[in-house]
C-alpha cells in the first residue's frame, strides 16, 4: 500500500461560517478531533505556509507528534487544506482538504485525506493500520465537531475568537473524546 485515500461528509445544523471557524481554530482541535490529545505549538494566526504541531493519540495506540502546514485557507469559499507529517521525520505525508458549504439552512462539511506512504514499514504496516483508524476516527470527529459547534448556540458565531493570543491556552491537556 503506497497511498491511502478517504472521504467523509456530514450535515451540521449551524451556519457554514460557524463550522468553518471551528475547523480552522487550531486551539480547539482537541475538543472535537478524537485523535488529537493536545496542541503543542500553534502560529499566532492561521495563514498559508504556517505550521502547527499537535500530539496525536488515537485510542489504544501510542502517541506521536504531528506537524501540519497550511496549503490553502480560503475564508470566502470556506476551504481549508493542509499537509501533515510525522514529527519523527518520516517522509510520509498526508494531505487534508476541508470544504464547508451551505445546505438546507445548515452546513455540509466535506473532508478528504490523501496519504502518501514513503517508507517500506509505513507501506506494509502503518498504512493499513492508519487506513482503518481514519475510517473510524474521521466520522467520529465530524460528529463531535457538529456537537461542539451546535452546543454554542444556533448561530455559533460568538466564540470564534475566544482565547486567541492567550498563552495560557497553549499546551492544555484535553483528553481526546474517544480515548
Residue among 34 and 148 whose Cβ is closer to another protein: 34
Give residues 9-38 in contact with another protein (rule: CB under 8 A): none
Provide, rounded to whole angstroms, the least separation between the CB of residue 57 and another protein: 9
Residue whose C-alpha cell is 504496516: 125
Give residues 53-72 in contact with another protein (rule: CB under 8 A): 60-64
Residue among 64 and 159 whose Cβ is closer to another protein: 64
**What x/- string results for residues 69 through 88 when contact with another protein is judged by CB under 8 A?**
-------------------x
Helix-, strand-, coil-residue percentages of the chain, each rounded to 5: 30, 35, 35
**What x/- string results for residues 114 through 143 when contact with another protein is judged by CB under 8 A?**
-------xx-xxx--x--x-----------
CA distance readout (Å), 71 to 50, 74, 118, 142, 143:
8, 10, 20, 21, 25
- Give per-residue burial for 117-133: e unless 16+ CB within 10 Å, then b: beeeebeeebbeebbeb
Provide, rounded to whole angstroms, the least separation between the CB of residue 173 and another protein: 9
- Summarize as ranges the residues that interact with another protein (CB under 8 A): 60-64, 88-90, 121-122, 124-126, 129, 132
Amino acid at each position: 500500500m503506497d497511498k491511502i485515500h478517504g472521504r467523509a461528509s456530514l450535515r451540521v445544523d449551524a451556519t457554514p461560517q460557524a463550522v468553518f471557524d471551528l475547523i480552522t481554530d487550531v486551539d480547539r482541535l482537541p475538543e472535537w478531533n478524537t485523535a488529537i490529545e493536545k496542541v503543542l505549538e500553534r502560529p499566532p494566526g492561521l495563514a498559508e505556509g504556517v505550521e502547527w504541531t499537535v500530539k496525536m493519540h488515537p485510542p489504544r495506540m501510542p502517541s506521536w507528534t504531528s506537524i501540519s502546514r497550511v496549503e490553502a485557507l480560503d475564508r470566502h469559499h470556506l476551504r481549508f487544506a493542509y499537509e501533515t507529517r510525522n514529527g519523527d521525520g518520516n517522509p510520509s505525508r498526508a494531505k487534508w482538504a476541508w470544504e464547508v458549504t451551505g445546505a438546507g439552512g445548515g452546513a455540509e462539511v466535506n473532508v478528504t485525506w490523501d496519504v502518501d506512504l514513503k517508507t517500506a514499514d509505513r507501506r506494509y504496516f502503518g498504512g493499513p493500520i492508519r487506513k482503518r483508524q481514519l475510517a473510524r476516527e474521521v466520522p467520529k470527529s465530524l460528529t463531535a465537531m457538529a456537537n461542539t459547534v451546535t452546543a454554542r448556540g444556533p448561530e455559533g458565531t460568538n466564540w470564534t475568537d475566544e482565547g486567541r493570543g492567550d498563552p495560557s491556552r497553549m499546551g492544555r491537556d484535553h483528553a481526546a473524546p474517544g480515548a
